[in-house]
């Protein structure tokens, strides 16, 4: 009996009308603004890394050692800022400018671990730690091995 009281829907939207409506309400892309933000924030992150390299050189390190120490420092800062929730805000503002430097790699490792920490250290943090970074590590290591063999056999 309840079916008799319901009326059929009267939707008369043609595909052309639907296309016009979606174009009307779709937000316009802000590509130029996003590119500028990514460039500036990515540049700032890389400049901070260069400042660390210069700082470690003034402490008496060789340039290669200073670069390694600066990379480790930037990874630590990226992980720390992710844990504090600051790096997510930087990512929302900068987009790709925040994921390109080494701090983005630290963020991609720590963020899933932070998300699943309530599930415990083994099934939460341990299992989810490399969900994003795992494929990057696997393919990066495999590529470096292939390039190493090519270099070895060509020289």
The DSSP call for residue 99 is T
pLDDT of residue 97 exceeding 80, the answer is: yes
* CA 151 from centre of chain: 31
pLDDT single digits (tens) 30-42:
889 999 999 999 9
Helices (H), the chain: 2-5, 15-25, 31-58, 63-84, 86-94, 102-115, 127-128, 133-154
pLDDT of residue 9 exceeding 80, the answer is: no
pLDDT single digits (tens) 43-85:
999 999 999 999 999 999 999 999 999 999 999 999 899 889 8
pLDDT of residue 1 exceeding 60, the answer is: no
């Amino acid at each position: 009996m309840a079916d008799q009281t319901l009326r059929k829907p009267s939707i008369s939207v043609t595909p052309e009308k639907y296309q016009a409506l979606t174009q009307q309400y779709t937000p316009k892309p802000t590509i130029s603004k996003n590119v500028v933000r990514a460039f500036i924030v990515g540049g700032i992150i890389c400049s901070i890394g260069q400042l660390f390299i210069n700082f470690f050189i003034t402490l008496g390190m060789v340039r290669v050692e200073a670069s390694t120490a600066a990379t480790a420092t930037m990874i630590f800062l990226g992980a720390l800022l992710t844990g504090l929730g600051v790096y997510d805000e930087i990512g929302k503002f900068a987009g790709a400018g925040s994921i390109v430097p080494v701090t983005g790699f630290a963020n991609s490792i720590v963020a899933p671990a932070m998300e699943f920490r309530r599930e415990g250290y083994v099934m939460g943090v341990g299992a989810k730690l490399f969900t994003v970074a795992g494929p990057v590590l696997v393919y990066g290591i495999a590529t470096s091995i292939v390039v190493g063999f090519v270099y070895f056999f060509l020289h």
